Amino acid sequence: MRDSRETFPRRAFVAGYPIKHSRSPLIHGYWLRELGLEGEYEKVAVEPEHFGRFIEDLRQQKSAYCGGNVTIPHKEAACQLADHVDPPAEELGAANTLWLEEGKVFATNTDGIGFVSNLDAEHPGWDQAERAVVLGAGGASRAILQSLRDRGISEIHVVNRTVDRARELVDRFGAPLHAHGMEALDGLLDGAGLFVNTSSLGMDGAEAPHLAFDKMKSNALVTDIVYVPLVTPFLAQAQEVGLATVDGLGMLLHQAVPGFEKWFGQRPKVTPELRQLVLDDI
Ligand code: ATR
């Protein structure tokens, strides 16, 4: 009997609920075409109550998939249901990338890699920042905090409207992290080398407060994981005072690289054409 790892073309999925708005098929479809590979990557709407069955079918190679991405609301369940979870995903308690190996489901989380790879590509040397200020303590914040800590940033301040959520993340990720409420933000920016917005402030035209970016170091970097609009209110404010900025679209593109390589066997490149393709879809 053939198993799905030997089945060509290879098929991968992005499973979520809802899933209509995922841009992942656009990204992986571009790479499949560019690399001349036969393969498929498709959206699958999986309701939460059916996710366990979906993973079991993957494990038993009934679904013809060699792996895929999972997104909201399945990231935590994916971590619990996989047979092997790598240490960073285990610590996060959330996975976004799955693949099959010898009948076992393997899981990792590529959000942190996506964040760091994007900054490495767009603003080398960003990790010289001694003090980083991260706004927001939701799901998106976690992988970023973990990756900043693992990159060796020595002072990481998590600022959140609900300070208890920031405190939970400090408990989870340890010593270099400190928790604060919103009122501490401008004081913390004084002398900081990196600011990351992981909150929904400024998203889709939402209001964003004016921040004291002029107090940051002159070589500081301001980045936002929000990418609609591409130039968010925080990025615009930072540019007005002459700071370097990196937008959030690159994180989305870079986080897709490790999964593609696992499923289709070649490491794809994040190119300006891919960026434009996704931008045109926004
Ligand atoms: P995600 O998983 O995308 O991070 P989330 O868990 O809903 O989404 O988190 C959204 C983040 O934006 C949170 O940090 C949230 O703050 P709270 O934890 O206090 O809810 C933050 N956020 C959303 N609206 C905000 C607002 N008007 N002012 C300040 N922070 C806000």
Q: Are 256 and 27 in contact (CB under 8 A)?
A: yes
Burial of 70 (0-12, 13-18, 19+ CB in 10 A): buried
Tens of pLDDT along the chain (282 residues)? 344 445 678 999 999 999 999 999 999 999 999 999 999 999 999 999 999 999 999 999 998 899 999 999 999 999 999 999 999 999 999 999 999 999 999 999 999 999 999 999 999 999 999 999 999 999 999 999 999 999 999 999 999 999 999 999 999 999 899 999 999 999 999 999 999 999 999 999 888 999 999 999 999 999 999 999 999 999 999 999 999 999 999 999 999 999 999 999 999 999 999 999 999 998
Q: Are 63 and 108 in contact (CB under 8 A)?
A: no
pLDDT value at residue 147: 97
In 10 A of CB 207, how many CB atoms?
7
Token pair 């991968």 in the structure block, residue: 12
In 146-176, which positions are buried (b, 16+ CB within 10 angstroms) versus exposed (e)? bbbbebebebbbbbbeebeebbbbbeebeeb
Task: Compute the Cα dihedral for 2, 64, 261, 270 and give only its sign.
Answer: positive
Q: How far is Cα 262 from Cα 173, in angstroms, rounded to an integer?
A: 28
Q: How far is Cα 274 from Cα 253, in angstroms, rounded to an integer?
A: 8
Average pLDDT, the chain: 95
pLDDT, tens digit, 9 for 90 and up, residues 235-251: 999 999 999 999 999 99
Torsions phi, psi for 245 (to 5 deg): -135, 150
pLDDT value at residue 205: 86
Q: Which domains can be identified in the chain, with CATH numbers?
A: 4-110+256-281 (3.40.50.10860), 112-251 (3.40.50.720)
pLDDT value at residue 3: 46
User: Looking at ligand 1, which atom is closest to the CA of residue 140?
Assistant: 4
Catalytic residue among 75, 215, 217, 269: 75
Beta strands in the chain (DSSP E): 10-16, 39-45, 67-70, 84-85, 97-101, 104-108, 131-135, 155-159, 177-180, 194-197, 221-224, 244-246
Taking CB atoms and a 6 Å cutoff, what residues make up the pocket around ligand 1?
Answer: 136-141, 160-162, 165, 198-201
Q: How far is Cα 238 from Cα 247, in angstroms, rounded to an integer?
A: 12
**Which residues neighbour 217 within 8 Å (Cβ) at sequence distance 6 or greater?**
129, 191, 192, 193
Name the token pair of 23: 């841009």
Q: Specify whether 75 is catalytic.
A: yes
Q: Are 80 and 89 in contact (CB under 8 A)?
A: no
First-to-final CA distance of the chain: 43
Residue type, position 39, single letter: G
In 10 A of CB 261, how many CB atoms?
14
- Tell which one of 74, 164, 198, 199 to mutate to probe ligand 1, the residue whose CB is within 8 A of the most ligand atoms: 199
Q: Are 250 and 274 in contact (CB under 8 A)?
A: no
With CA atoms as reference, report the closest residue to 221 among 110, 112, 116, 114: 116
With CA atoms as reference, report the closest residue to 237 among 211, 218, 216: 211
Query: Does the annotation flag 137 for ligand binding?
Result: yes
pLDDT value at residue 9: 81
Distance 134 CA to ligand 1 centre (A): 12
